[in-house]
Structure 1
Amino acid sequence: MESGDERFRLFVREQWGPLTRTAYLLTGDRGTAEDLVQSALEKTHRRWGRVEFPEVYVRRVMVNTATSWWRRRRPIEVPLLASDAEHTPDAYDRVEQRQQLLAALRQLPPRTQAVLVLRYFEDLSEADTARVLGCSIGSVKSQASRGLARLRVDFAAHPPVRLQGDPT
């Protein structure tokens, strides 16, 4: 029979990659993401014997911790000059588009950001997202709808650059 600590070690080994990916999407920085995962796992370990659904619990802890960090230290951003925003198509276009998406995602309120990350990047169902966030399915739907609408507005104002010959 496995001990609680051994089950926790196995959980960490299996979930480190997916948790770090979620944390990166929530924070936008690899180092901060790893700190977030470690913080969430530390908090989870303290309650390990009482945690019924560890995947849900640790993601909820990550969202709450990221929100708390976000409130404490909002980044100061310097707007770009119009001349700095001109893009030329190159081989890194998809990477740039993804960076634009992640930057726009980080501008959303923490709760909306968490809903979009869990629903569309982690591919959780509305019910699973609601369970992770401890809210209703209707709340998940409305947050996702508002978040996607805001991202559409952001991308309409600054459309991503397309490669020549790219049909999309």
Structure 2
Amino acid sequence: MSALDLSQLALEPEIFANNMAIPYLIAILEDYFRSTFVALLAYSPRKQQVFKRARLSAEQLEAVSEGRMTIEAAVAQGFSLQRVSIAGRHFAELDPKIDLGGELRRPFRRRRVSIYDAMEQLVELRHRIVHRAEQVHSLTNEALGDMVLLAEACLERAYRHITDCYGWDAYDHHAFGITRGL
């Protein structure tokens, strides 16, 4: 297709909105992993080896110097944490007990695709939407709802795994009435 075909751009509002939600869903996952990484890095005995890999910009160094950003946050900004595969490697560098990949590969509700593989596919979908301007015409409300459920399960499993690794009491979402499929 050499010329822009405007008929290809026509989408139902539901499908268009659902496609636009995917980058935000990935941003939620990335923000959780980054915030958690920063918190763990602050108290990690392996902090020095993580710092050695850091490449900070002049702006980041200035923000740290002026107290507008912690050194841990500046370092974490330089690490890609969108993909669970890459995030898992960064967390394992902080503490070898943290195996996000192994935790997310465990079966989930008798599905053939693990949470790990589903999240990797979701990032690929996000890249197609953002970087190639592709639109997925099959992204119905039901399909998006399933992706949100998988993202919630990913966050819940990651959270529980990390709290278990450190022997911390996990927050009980059921105590506050949050029971949606987790």
- State TM-score, norm by structure 2: 0.27
* TM-score normalised by structure 1 residue count: 0.29
Larger RCO (alpha carbons 8 Å, 6+ apart): 2
Query: Counting helix residues as a fraction of each chain, which structure ranks higher?
Result: 1
